Amino acid sequence: MSVFNREAAVRLILLRLARLGAELGKPALAQADEQTRLFGEASHLDSIGLVTLMSDLEEDIHRACGVRIVIADERAMSRLTSPFRRVGLLADHLVELVAAAQA
Amino acid sequence: MRIALVTGTSRGLGRALAESLLGDGWTVHGFARGPQALAHPAFRAHAVDVGDEAAVQAAVAAVLETSGRVDLLVNNAGAASMNSLLLTPAKKAEMLMRVNYLGAFHCLQAVGKAMVRQRAGTIVNLTSVAVPLALSGEAAYVASKAAVEALTKVAANELQPHGVRVVAVGLGPVDTDLTRAVGRDQLAALNVRIGRPSGTTLAEAVGFVAEEWGGAPSSTGTVRYLARLG
């Protein structure tokens, strides 16, 4: 069972954002970092892009860690600070989900 | 190799749809609660209660492990019940909503994610002529199928940009186990009302649903009925 830490999560998200940026014609996504906004006016992703990102990440994590997770779970939706706001917050959320799935 | 996932394949229309797809060269994953008798080299049976979200997610994950993708989802699994609205037990209404609406919702969500990743796919939801006819004696059933139609339209809007087409097809009474419990006179009257006095055979129903396998992308969000309404 592979270790999925925060660094790995950030790397995965940034890689996926860069690919998505190439696909959507938004090269700025290739320059994303932990502070990059994932939704809202300051984001380069629209709702379709965000759905694509989450869906692709679920599959990436399955390939990397061998576990199936649902990123938009009850816990994520009920948090005061949405894990979908910034790359860093999403990375924290992914690490939690993978740890829970591997436990 | 085209991959289909059909729910409710243990008997009736679901099994007939699976057999039709297998005959056309598809690999078919069939979801059903109980045992499945369909035997074909390209058929994979999964024991799943579509009303159980976790079970659906696990089963869809198993499908993706085996086949890698899903090109077609047919949300066929369903339950029916006839009763006067004021005499319908709440538990019955809850069961119909769970199987007919939530079952489709869970499968659509789990498979929809895979189709978004693929940037392609078709989802066909089964509804009923009972919805536009607002049939008396079927309040809970009609409400659950109306929810499926609404879900179809919203899902079509949300998934169209990802290359995924979502449609619904509505049938009248088809000669299956589901309708054999209904009185002959009642069925005959309904068949006359929808312009199909001879009724609808299983083969006709399969043919109507199968028209959606290769439907045009522009048809997404539509609800077609095998009936003459109005």
Backbone angles phi, psi at B82, to 5 degrees: -115, 130
The residue whose two tokens read 């999403």 is A90
Backbone angles phi, psi at B171, to 5 degrees: -115, 160
CB under 8 A, 24+ apart: contacts of A30-38: A32/A87, A33/A87, A34/A10, A34/A86, A34/A87, A34/A88, A34/A91, A35/A86, A35/A87, A35/A88, A36/A86, A36/A87, A37/A85, A37/A86, A38/A84, A38/A85, A38/A86, A38/A87, A38/A90
Res A13: pLDDT: 97
Q: Is residue A29 part of a domain?
A: yes
pLDDT band at B11 (very low <50, low <70, confident <90, very high): very high
Question: Can you give the residue range of the structural domain that contains A49?
Answer: 6-102
Q: How far apart are alpha carbons B185 and B154 in whole angstroms?
A: 37
Mean pLDDT of chain A: 91
Q: Does the structure show a pLDDT above 90 at B88?
A: yes
Contacts of A56 in chain B (CB under 8 A): 117
pLDDT band at B211 (very low <50, low <70, confident <90, very high): very high
How far B179 CA sits from the closest chain A CA (Å)?
Answer: 38
pLDDT band at A2 (very low <50, low <70, confident <90, very high): low
pLDDT band at A1 (very low <50, low <70, confident <90, very high): low
Q: Is residue A1 part of a domain?
A: no
Contacts of B57 in chain A (CB under 8 A): 68, 70
Q: Is residue A68 part of a domain?
A: yes
Contacts of A70 in chain B (CB under 8 A): 57
Catalytic residue, chosen from B26, B141, B208, B225, is B141
Mean pLDDT of chain B: 94
Res B198: pLDDT: 92
Return the structure tokens found at B126: 């089964």
Number of domains in chain A: 1
The residue whose two tokens read 């579509």 is B50
What is the 3-state secondary structure of chain A? CCCCCHHHHHHHHHHHHHHHHHHHCCHHHHHCCCCCECCCCCCCCCHHHHHHHHHHHHHHHHHHHCCCCCCCCHHHHHCCCCCCCEHHHHHHHHHHHHHHHHC
Question: Nearest chain A Cα to B59, which residue?
Answer: A68
Q: How far apart are alpha carbons B227 and B223 in whole angstroms?
A: 12
How far A48 CA sits from the closest chain B CA (Å)?
Answer: 7
Burial class (CB in 10 A: 0-12, 13-18, 19+), B25: exposed
Q: Is residue A41 part of a domain?
A: yes
The model's pLDDT over A12-49, given as tens digits with 9 standing for 90+, comes to: 999 999 999 998 899 999 999 999 999 888 888 888 88
The model's pLDDT over B59-79, given as tens digits with 9 standing for 90+, comes to: 999 999 999 999 999 999 999
How far B106 CA sits from the closest chain A CA (Å)?
Answer: 13
pLDDT band at A74 (very low <50, low <70, confident <90, very high): confident
Q: Smallest Cβ distance to B116: which of A52, A62, A70? A: A52
Q: Is residue A64 part of a domain?
A: yes
Asked whether the beta carbons of A50 and A38 are under 8 A apart, the reply is: yes
Res B45: pLDDT: 98
Domains and CATH numbers, chain B: 3-225 (3.40.50.720)
Residues 6+ apart with CB under 8 A from B35: B10, B47
Res B46: pLDDT: 98
Q: Smallest Cβ distance to B117: which of A56, A68, A70? A: A56
Q: Is residue A69 part of a domain?
A: yes
Q: Is residue A53 part of a domain?
A: yes
Question: Nearest chain A Cα to B115, which residue?
Answer: A55
pLDDT > 90: percent of chain B: 89
Cα–Cα nearest to B56, from A1, A19, A33, A70 = A70
Cβ distance of A56 and B61 shorter than 8 Å = no
B141 is catalytic: yes
Res A44: pLDDT: 87
As for the ipTM of the complex, it is 0.72
In this complex, is the C-beta atom of A48 within 8 Å of any C-beta atom belonging to chain B?
Answer: yes
Question: Nearest chain A Cα to B68, which residue?
Answer: A59
Return the structure tokens found at B131: 């919805």
50-89 in A: which are within 8 Å (CB) of B? 51-52, 55-56, 58-59, 62, 68, 70
The model's pLDDT over B168-185, given as tens digits with 9 standing for 90+, comes to: 999 999 977 767 767 788
